[in-house]
């Protein structure tokens, strides 16, 4: 059994390098294609057992990455929503969507949270159960709070339609943010065609349009809310 002896500062540095390396590789290649050895190599960790030592396993590392990304987003959403609620808002759909898009998992994340948009999109497809279980376990409530506001602000239509629209928003925005993250160049600028206009604000416009559009279809249960 290999025992790592590192100072607290060195241990924290090693853990952060492993997480950054894993986020990058998972975002580029997917979850299943990346091995523990790949992550250790990418993170330039000298001791090959460092990942298992600090995180237990690849799956536990994935849970840690989910917690990191969602905890940061949850805090940003909570702060922004609380400010609006303090002033009696939100009063329109755009206010909520701007918070979700611009303060969630932005493609222009800082160095300690890079590749989170692609990682989250990948995890939803490859490890959705881990994501949902982690969210339930840690009680991240800000996103659900935002959804409640959106349901209240949407025009009258069957609740089933509202919920389906919100699912449309969730899956489309998750995929779009991942695409935009991959479209950043080394200077942190969007490459064409995403650079034609501010893609994040355009995403906000598109999402608002999706949620505000009138409903013309049929539903099995005509319950409105």
The DSSP secondary structure of 99-113, one letter per residue, reads HHHHSSS-TT--GGG
User: Three-state DSSP class for 158?
Assistant: strand
Rounded to whole angstroms, how far apart are CA atoms 185 and 126? 26
pLDDT of the chain, 225 residues: tens digit per residue: 444 545 556 677 889 999 989 988 988 888 889 999 999 999 988 787 889 999 999 989 988 888 888 888 889 999 999 999 999 999 999 999 999 999 987 776 655 566 788 888 888 888 888 888 887 887 788 999 999 999 999 999 999 999 999 999 999 999 999 999 889 888 889 999 999 999 999 999 999 999 999 999 877 655 555
Q: Which residues contact 109 (CB under 8 A, 6 or more apart)?
A: 115, 116, 117, 181
Rounded to whole angstroms, how far apart are CA atoms 127 and 117? 15
Q: What is the pTM of this model?
A: 0.84
Rounded to whole angstroms, how far apart are CA atoms 3 and 156? 62
């Amino acid at each position: 059994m290999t025992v790592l002896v590192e100072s607290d500062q060195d241990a924290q540095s090693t853990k952060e390098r492993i997480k950054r390396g894993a986020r990058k590789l998972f975002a580029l290649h997917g979850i299943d294609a990346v091995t523990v050895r790949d992550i250790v190599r990418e993170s330039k960790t000298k001791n090959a057992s460092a990942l298992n030592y600090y995180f237990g396993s690849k799956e536990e590392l994935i849970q840690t990455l989910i917690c990191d990304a969602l905890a940061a987003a949850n805090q940003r959403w909570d702060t922004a929503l609380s400010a609006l609620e303090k002033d009696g808002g939100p009063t329109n759909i755009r206010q909520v969507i701007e918070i979700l898009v611009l303060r969630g998992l932005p493609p222009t994340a800082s160095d300690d949270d890079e590749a989170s948009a692609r990682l989250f999109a990948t995890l939803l497809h490859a490890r959705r159960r881990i994501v949902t279980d982690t969210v339930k376990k840690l009680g991240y409530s800000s996103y659900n709070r935002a959804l409640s506001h959106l349901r209240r602000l949407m025009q009258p239509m069957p609740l089933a339609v509202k919920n389906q629209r919100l699912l449309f928003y969730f899956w489309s925005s998750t995929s779009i943010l991942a695409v935009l993250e991959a479209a950043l160049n080394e200077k942190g600028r969007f490459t064409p065609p995403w650079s034609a206009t501010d893609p994040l604000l355009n995403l906000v416009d598109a999402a608002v349009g999706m949620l505000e559009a009138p409903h013309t279809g049929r539903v099995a249960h005509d319950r409105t809310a």
